[in-house]
Amino acid sequence: MLPVADMDGLLAGLRAAAEPTRLRLLALCARGDLTVSDLTGILGQSQPSVSRHLKLLCDAGLLDRFREGAWVFYRLARDGEGGGLAGAMIGLLPPADPVLELDARRLESLKEARQGRAAAYFRANAMRWGEIRSLHVDDALVERALLGMLGEGRLGDLLDIGTGTGRMLELLGPLARSGLGIDESREMLSVARATLDRAGLTHCSVRLADLYQLPLPGESIDLAVVHQVLHYAERPGAAVAEAARALRPGGRLMVVDFAPHDLEVLRTEHEHRRLGFLDDEVAGWFREAGLEPGIPHRLPGGRLTVVIWPARRTLHEET
């Protein structure tokens, strides 16, 4: 049964969604966080019209709205009576509807274009990525904090998701039984391989792979690190879930990224999809993936604050 407080709330939600464009908006926002610009491009409608539809859906509690700098994102509500009703409506949509299928194809094209721009940025900056990263935060400070949170002892089998230059493998590889770095950029992998060669880490390797489809079986690693990667991800929650899938019971995930900020230049010139993350947002992804969130560690630095969010996969319950 739907978790609605009263008949009025149910009717308000039904009335808000009972229009073709608004049903299309619900279907699209169920696939990820989208801006008004994204949605107008997909639907082929004017910005004022789409904004009006979005306001009605938000007022009814069917969509969540959140601002990041100059951009506003919309996504399907997950909590409360509106979230329950929105999820039920998505389940009722006809999967083979030609209009919804066309919207989905356009959305995938939009995402591919974004990923292409991000990949082009990585290619253009592969050899100076370490320099660009150092402009945002003191890497040495973050690395010392990360090592301190991991504690003493061996790290087991290590996975570095979005390895970039391979710096996390270089830092943590000497403490690991094995190390694997994955990245979607061949140019970055060439830099990472040079890093491993220079450090003599013959038990570590890198490969071309997608962070949403890790080339690993479930429960096969002890530690996963996602260092300054999630702000590029189209679906950061899905990336967390895929990392959690690969963790053994008791295994750890360490996410290193920015707290919310207003540096739009990182989005416009450096292809950052998200301008930082809230603690509650990251903790929610951890819990949904079956992980137990730890206490975040914050590292202020100028206009940007780096946060290390730790989590651990819960042990299997005894039968």
Contacts of 197 (CB under 8 A, 6+ apart): none
At 35, which CATH number? 1.10.10.10
* Greater pLDDT, 39 or 70: 39
Q: What average pLDDT does range 171-193 have in this prediction? A: 89
| 3-class SS string, 35-98 | EHHHHHHHHCCCHHHHHHHHHHHHHCCCEEEEEECCEEEEEECCCHHHHHHHHHHHHHCCCCCH
Is 123's pLDDT higher than 80?
Answer: no
pLDDT at 149: 96
Asked if residue 244 lies in contact with residue 290, where contact means CB atoms within 8 angstroms, the answer is yes
252: containing domain? 127-313
Pairing of the two strands 304-313 and 297-301: antiparallel
Task: Return d(Cα 239, Cα 213) in angstroms, integer.
Answer: 9
Q: 128-174 pLDDT, tens per residue?
A: 555 455 556 678 899 999 999 999 889 999 999 999 889 999 999 99
How far apart CA 201 and CA 104 sit, in angstroms, is: 44
Q: Considering only 83-87, 113-117, 203-207, which range has the smallest mean pLDDT?
A: 113-117
Task: Give the burial class of 34: count Cβ atoms within 10 A of its Cβ; 0-12 exposed, 13-18 middle, 19 or more buried.
Answer: buried
This prediction's pTM: 0.71
Number of folded domains that form the chain: 2
In this prediction, residue 9 carries a pLDDT of 74
**Domain CATH for 270:** 3.40.50.150
Q: Which of 30-34, 53-57, 272-276, 292-296 has the lowest mean pLDDT?
A: 30-34
Mean pLDDT of 116-132: 62
Question: Hey, what amino acid is at 81?
Answer: E
Residue 106 counted as domain residue: no
* pLDDT given at position 194: 81
Q: Does 318 fall in a domain?
A: no
Instruction: Examine residue 28 and state whether it is found in any structural domain, yes or no.
Output: yes
Does residue 137 sit in the same domain as residue 271? Answer: yes
User: Are residues 59 and 148 both part of a single domain?
Assistant: no
Q: What is the pLDDT of residue 155?
A: 94
Q: Domain ends where: 72, 93, 114?
A: 93
Containing H/E element for 301? strand 297-301
Q: Is 166 exposed, middle or buried (0-12, 13-18, 19+ CB in 10 A)?
A: buried
pLDDT of residue 133: 58
**Domain identity same for 88 and 131:** no
Same domain as 71, residue 169: no
Nearest to 291 by CA among 257, 259, 246, 256: 246
Handedness of CA 170, 172, 173, 178 (dihedral sign): negative
Can you give the pLDDT at residue 170? Answer: 96
The pLDDT score that the predictor gives to residue 70 is 73
pLDDT at 1: 42
Q: 3-state class of 244 per DSSP?
A: helix
Q: Considering only CA atoms, which of 167, 138, 164, 174 is closest in space to residue 231?
A: 164
Same domain, 228 and 84: no
Give whole-number Cα distances, 293 to 20, 81, 253, 282, in Å: 40, 26, 9, 9
The total of other beta-carbon atoms located within 10 Å of residue 5's CB is 9
Over residues 197-241, the pLDDT tens digits come to 888 888 888 988 999 999 999 999 999 999 999 999 989 999 999
Considering 46, 73, 93, which residue would you say is the last residue of a domain?
93
Residue 40 banded pLDDT, cuts 50, 70, 90: very high
Residue 134 maps to a domain: yes
In a domain, 214, yes or no: yes
For residue 269, the SS3 value is: coil
In a domain, 186, yes or no: yes
